Each structure stands twice: as structure tokens, then as C-alpha cells.
Structure 1
Amino acid sequence: MRNYIKITALSLMALLASCTDVVDVDVQQGPTRLVIQASLDWEKGTAGNEQLVKLSTSTEFFETTNNTAVTGASVSVTNDTSGAEFIFADQNNGEYTTTEFVPVLNQSYTLNVVHDGATYTAQETLMPVTDITDLYQDREDGFDDEELELHVEFTDPADEENYYLFKFQRQGDLLPELEVGDDEFVNGNEIDWWYEKEENEDTDKIDVLKPGDVVAIEMYGISEAYYDYMDILIDQIGGVGIFSATPVAVKGNCINLTNPDNYAHGYFRLTEVNRTSYTFE
């Protein structure tokens, strides 16, 4: 009987092995593009003079190459009113830095990148952000009234359109969570923005906030154009599902003046930002 069981098990294993097919996925390949990460963020309470631009190249979906840094480029940002030009020095690792930047709220700036014979440019305005007036925890306003959520309170400036980007990252989490909002229906009012951990659709695991958790909070004032860009990007990050957005190419504001068809990925943004953290009790 024992030998019969062994033979049956071996037969089943052989059958399963013989039914295994290798599926080759034909992934559409696109051209290699310059990737511009130019987020000039002025943290409240700082001079804002130290800024960083990162340049790299895009890779194919299954590419395992880690070194995509772009060196040897020319990077500068110009104040469109005064004409003051800020040169970003090449650090030979894909990073370009300056300690001379002068941030001016509501001022327009132009980014200029020259790489591999092509000139890329983008224009954006340095957007202000209102102060955070209170941080607290509760259990009443989230999707699950038994779990903790974090509340960020602030007063939206009246008589103007405002757009916000929120970045939440719990200590120990690999990636932050991003959310965008606007004041279309709450202009000039006190706003209570709450954040909680949601169910992971891939694992069906609910990793809730707990006492002792520390969450880093960043609140940015952003332009309407950057709000639209991030709104689409966040939908893309959300993955594929019955109610998910149809995947589309997300183009930033960086234009290739030499060859418009060979545009760069990424975005040139200028923001004022609140940075703080909260420890759950």
C-alpha cells in the first residue's frame, strides 16, 4: 500500500511538471528618456538655499541595471523676474546641487537642463502653503471607526485657489503614501485632513496604525498643473482593479526644445512645505 501511494504521488508530480508551460510576456518597449527629478522644496523655517536636482535615464520594465545616473549635464534655474541664475553643480552621481538658491513665494522660475546635445526646459511657480494648526489622533472619522487615524488641521486661505500634496510615511514603512487635495468646496475654511492605513488589496492584510507608531508628515502647497499631474500619477500607483484608472503615459512639464518628441519624464516643481511628525499614544 505504501509503495502504491509513493508511485501515485510521483505520477501526479510528473503530470503537474509536464503541464507547466513557460509564458513569455511581450512587454512593449519604449525609447530611453531622460528622467528629471527637480523638486525644489522650501521648508518653513529654513533659508531654502540648499536645493537638489537628480538626473537619470529610464529603463525597460525587466531591466536590472542599477546605475542609471546621468552625469556631465548642465543644470540651472532662473528667477523669471530678476533674471538671477542659480547653477547646480554636478556631483558625478546623478545629483546636481546648489547652496545659493533664493526662494521667493509666488515667483515664477525656469529650469534649464542641457544633456547629450539636447536642451530641456520647464517653468513653474513657487507656491506657498498655510501652517498646520493642529495634529491629533482619533477613531471616529476613518473608514473603520475601531482603528486609529491621524488628523491634520489647517486653515485654507480665503479668496484664492489652493492645491495641496500630503506625504505620510510611518517609521519602518518602505514607501510613503501620497494624497492630493484642493479647496474647491472648502475655500477659506478650517480643514481637517485625516489619514489612516488601509487594507492591502494584494495580501488582504490590514496593517493599522497602533500606539507607539511614528508618522512623518509633509504638507506641500502646489500648483494646479502639478496637482493634476500627481492626481493621475497616484491613480497609476494604485494598481489595476475594476475601479482603477486606465493606465496612461504620465507626462510632466519638462519640454525638449531640441526634439519635442523626445520629452523627459519627471516634473519641475517649486513648493513651500511643512514637515513634522506625530507619535501615536
Structure 2
Amino acid sequence: MKTIFTAIFIILLLSACTKTLDIKLRSTEPKIVIQGNVTNSGGPYYIRINKTVDFDANNEYPPVVNATVSVLDSNTRRVDYYKYTGVNGYYISNNLFGQVGHTYKLTVTVDGETYTASSTMPNFVGINQLDFVQTKILNKTRILPQVTFTDPAYEKNYYVFSLAVNNVTYKAFYAVDDRLTDGNEMVQQLYMDSSYIQKRDFVTVILSSVDKNVYNYFNVLQANSGASPTTPSNPPSNISNGAYGYFGAEAVSMVSQSF
């Protein structure tokens, strides 16, 4: 069981299969939380399904183990049925392979209730360069990762960045759009609160091109990370029937480099 969990953990963090998050939600009764995506990097993909707890309870959401989970590729009309892994609410795909431009529909059934979401995978945008830059924070010199990429012109683009240091995920993400930078080269510095790059650290950065709904979800979570931890606003889920979480079709680019 430990081996299975470790394998899932590495795939999720370094292959960008799923940005699973442990977040506090304002809920007074248990609700379903669904998190998962399909990417262009190849499967397997994971959907994680849990139930919320009271807001002031321990932030450990119990797993849902009896769900029926499927993803339809609306372009090919092929349906892939996910299987429960036996670990922490994770369901795994069988034969699905994500493609740019395809629309994917998630269907989850739990205890007679059905939850759906749909997402279209945007065009691929690759990372051009990963650098490390010095910056002054609280009068101390810190090293931060910085990503350069080229935004496609004449189309609306939304991005979510995530990173890992020495194969350990950094528990933050960065949601940006091209509202003021359409068609330009973009430079994104990935600020790390209280944790910084040291010599010989191995850094992995993932750029995910996402649709507007997924961007909105992570943008609110990003804003909440700077707010009081007792009064977050629930992020806008793209999943039906009152479920929390998100489902996204994402074109991902990943770069790794040692400092």
C-alpha cells in the first residue's frame, strides 16, 4: 500500500496529472470535493474524491470509496471508466490520453447523486527557460525560480504554475492570464513564502495552460492564501450539483533544473 501511495504521489506532483489541494472550505454539512484533470502528457490520470468536514474540524477530508467515475472525450466519443486505487480517494484512468483541442466531460456518481464537469484543453504553451534570480526579501538575499515563456497572440490564455523542490511539492501555485501581455514574452517569478532555493537544489516547474473556469478556481485559491485562514471564500467550482473542487483539461509543459 505504501508503494502504491508513493507512486501516485510522484506522478501527481511531477507529471502534473492532478493538482490536489488540501484546503479549508466554508461548509457546515458534508459535501463532495472532486479534484482532477486530463493533460497532454499522457496518463494515467487521477480523480480524487473526498467529503468535507466542518470548517473548524481537523482539515482531513474522508475519502469517497464507492463512486462511479468516467471521463468522456467529446471529440472521439470514447468513455474511460476510472477505478478506485484504494488510496485516499484517488481513482485512476485506464486508457484515456488527453489531446489539445479536445473537450472532456467528467461524470461522478456517489450515493445516487451525479456530478458533472466539462473542460476543453487549450493550445500548448511551452516554457522557454527556467532561471534563478536573486531578490531582496526582508533585507535578505533570496533565490527564486523564474520562468520565461511566449504567450500566443490574438487569443485569451490562462495559466497555472506549480513547482517542486528536490521532488517535494511546494504548497503554492500561481494563476496568471495574458490580459495585459497578449502575444508577448512573459517572465513569471515564482515567489516562495518562507522557503527559498539553496545551492544544489533540484527544481521542477510546471506550466499548465487551462480554461477560464479552472483559472478562476485557482485565482480565488491564490487570493485566499493571503487572507485570514478563518474566513476564506469558497473557490468557484466548475462541477455541478453543489460539489466543490475542479476538473480541467490542461496542456502542460514541465522543466527541471538544478541551481
CA distance in 2, matches of 1:129, 1:142: 34
Which position in structure 2 is the counterpart of 1:168? Answer: 163
State the Cα deviation string for residues 137-161 of structure 1 (Å, max 9, x = none). Answer: 2326989794323221111111111
Give the CA RMSD over aligned residues. 2.8
Distance 1:196 1:184, change over 3 A: same
Over the matched positions of the two proteins, sequence identity in percent amounts to 25
3-state secondary structure, aligned to 2:207 = strand
Q: 8 Å contact 1:142–1:195 — kept in the other structure?
A: no
1:154 equivalent to 2:156? Answer no
Which position in structure 1 is the counterpart of 2:235? Answer: 250
CA distance in 2, matches of 1:134, 1:39: 25
Larger Rg: 1
Which position in structure 2 is the counterpart of 1:51? Answer: 45
3-state secondary structure, aligned to 1:267 = strand
What one-letter code is carried by the residue in structure 1 that aligns with 2:31? Answer: R
3-state secondary structure, aligned to 2:95 = coil
TM-score (norm 2): 0.79
**Structure 1 unmatched runs, 5+:** 1-27, 201-206, 257-262
CA distance in 2, matches of 1:125, 1:144: 44
Q: 1:123 aligns with which of 118, 126, 130?
A: 118
Instruction: State the 1:173 CA deviation.
Output: 6.1
What one-letter code is carried by the residue in structure 1 that aligns with 2:112? Answer: G
Which position in structure 1 is the counterpart of 2:63? Answer: 69
CA distance in 2, matches of 1:147, 1:88: 43
**Structure 2 unmatched runs, 5+:** 1-25
Which position in structure 1 is the counterpart of 2:29? Answer: 31
State the Cα deviation string for residues 233-261 of structure 1 (Å, max 9, x = none). Answer: 111122329xxxx73222311112xxxxx
Which position in structure 1 is the counterpart of 2:253? Answer: 274
TM-score (norm 1): 0.73
CA distance in 1, matches of 2:211, 2:59: 34
Matches within 5 A, 1:183-222: 183-198=178-193, 200=194, 207-222=195-210
Q: 8 Å contact 1:125–1:270 — kept in the other structure?
A: yes
State the Cα deviation string for residues 161-218 of structure 1 (Å, max 9, x = none). Answer: 11110112333867422111111121111112122434x5xxxxxx443322232211
